[in-house]
Amino acid sequence: MDLSVLNNLSYGMYIITTKRENKKVGCFINTAMQITSKNPMIAISLNKENYTNEILKETRKCAISVLGENASQELISKFGYFSSREVNKFEDINYQNIEELPVVLEDTCSYIIGEVIRVIDVETHDIFLIRVQQTAKVLEEPPMTYRYYHEILKGKAPKKAPTYQEEKVDRKANRYQCSVCGYIYDDSKEEINFEDLPDDWTCPMCGVGKDKFVKLK
């Protein structure tokens, strides 16, 4: 079965955030859709292994920031490839406490605040049904689509995303994959071979060092 067909489904780029006591958590998601139009409700999908999933089940309240087309790779990487368990993702970014939630305003065209009214267990993921309680516009900018991120910005799906697919290895070229974010450095497409990159070179996607790269066979 050709699973690449599933890449033809269209998505946006969102950051979902919540707060338990003083711990602010959040992660990147691409799956969000409106379910009802009267008294609107939206559905999002979150991997069960995600720390944000665990916390959201307790707090039952979240903010969803819709990223604009000029959103930075740093912001996407921070929320997409790291865990709020280990990293304070809100350091050095523009956010605001609204309704006791840390709402990301950086690179955000608009945000939605809502209450989780139901969690549906679907194998590796949960669907959260969220009743919309508050909305606001932030930047006058078109929303970024997931396709734009992949095709124009050459971004990769985080491993826990519903849309993650393992890359097929091309055995002819020397290629090195970042073990954190999945970014692939392909010697045949670069001016400098990976081995010759300086020691302080960092992953253009998530910022970790060369030592986190694994040579693909």
What's the min distance (Å) between Cβ of 12 and a copy of itself? Answer: 3
How many angstroms separate the CA atoms of 190 and 185, rounded? 8
Question: Do 63 and 14 meet the contact criterion of CB atoms below 8 Å apart?
Answer: no
Of 35 and 214, the one with the shorter C-beta distance to a copy of itself is 35
What's the min distance (Å) between Cβ of 75 and a copy of itself? Answer: 17
Of 81 and 176, the one with the shorter C-beta distance to a copy of itself is 81
The 3-state secondary structure of 11-36, one letter per residue: CECEEEEEEECCEEEEEEECCEEEEE
Question: Do 67 and 76 meet the contact criterion of CB atoms below 8 Å apart?
Answer: yes
- The 8-class DSSP code of residue 69 comes to T
What's the min distance (Å) between Cβ of 62 and a copy of itself? Answer: 15
Residues that bind a copy of itself (CB under 8 A): 1-3, 5-6, 8-13, 31-43, 45, 66, 109-112, 120, 122-125, 127, 129, 132-137, 142-143, 145-147, 161-165
Place of tokens 């990293």: 87
Of 22 and 37, the one with the shorter C-beta distance to a copy of itself is 37
Of 54 and 69, the one with the shorter C-beta distance to a copy of itself is 69
How many angstroms separate the CA atoms of 122 and 162, rounded? 11
What's the min distance (Å) between Cβ of 118 and a copy of itself? Answer: 8
Listed in sequence order, the DSSP H helices in the chain are: 51-59, 73-81, 146-151
Of 112 and 213, the one with the shorter C-beta distance to a copy of itself is 112
What's the min distance (Å) between Cβ of 116 and a copy of itself? Answer: 13
Place of tokens 């711990």: 23
What's the min distance (Å) between Cβ of 99 and a copy of itself? Answer: 13
Spell out the residues 6+ positions from residue 135 whose beta carbon is closer than 8 angstroms to its own: 110, 111, 112, 113
Of 145 and 179, the one with the shorter C-beta distance to a copy of itself is 145
